[in-house]
């Protein structure tokens, strides 16, 4: 088992690589935080579904990737805040992702949510990644 300095970055890389290769599913070591990110991706329509499965005492997150006429729905998924350089933003200064077509996933004190929800709830937080 390799230790990961950035498990979220790993999750994002796996989703990116799997969708580039048109895989139906991607398996990621699970955590509560990753499950919340998957939840946002599902609610925003970027993935079909996800589930947590226990294998040999390890929990894995299975993500069903979504395609639109053969093309991955996730064109781009980018890690913004990294362990070495955390990036935070207030509700007012949250970035718009490709003119509001994409989403940014924000970790706020009120939970993990999209940039739109964070603006509505007037909470800032750590910008985890951008998706479009």
Give dist(CA 97, CA 128) in Å, integer.
13
Torsion of CA 75, 112, 82, 77, to 10 degrees: 0
The domains found in the chain, sorted by start residue, are 7-66+75-131 (3.30.1490.10)
pLDDT of residue 15: 97
Structure tokens at 61: 């997150």
2, pLDDT greater than 60 = no
Instruction: List, for residues 84-130, the tens digit of each pLDDT value.
Output: 999 999 999 998 888 878 999 999 999 999 999 999 999 999 999 99
pTM comes to 0.94
| Pair 59, 30: CB distance under 8 Å | yes
Instruction: List, for residues 56-90, the tens digit of each pLDDT value.
Output: 889 999 999 999 999 999 999 999 999 999 999 99
pLDDT of residue 25: 97
The DSSP symbol for 39 reads: H
pLDDT bucket at 4, cuts 50 / 70 / 90: confident
Q: Token match 């509505």: residue?
A: 120
Instruction: List, for residues 7-50, the tens digit of each pLDDT value.
Output: 999 999 999 999 999 999 999 999 999 999 999 999 999 999 99
């Amino acid at each position: 088992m390799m230790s990961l300095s950035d498990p979220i970055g790993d999750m994002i890389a796996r989703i990116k690589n799997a969708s580039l290769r048109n895989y139906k599913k991607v398996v990621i070591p699970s955590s509560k935080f990753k499950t919340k990110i998957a939840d946002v991706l599902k609610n925003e329509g970027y993935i079909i579904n996800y589930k947590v499965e226990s294998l040999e005492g390890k929990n894995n997150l299975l993500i069903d990737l979504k395609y639109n006429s053969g093309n991955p729905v996730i064109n781009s998924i980018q890690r913004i805040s990294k362990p070495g350089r955390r990036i935070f933003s207030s509700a007012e200064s949250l970035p718009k992702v490709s003119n509001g077509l994409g989403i940014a996933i924000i970790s706020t004190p009120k939970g993990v949510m999209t940039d739109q929800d964070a603006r509505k709830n007037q909470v800032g937080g750590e910008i985890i990644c951008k998706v479009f």
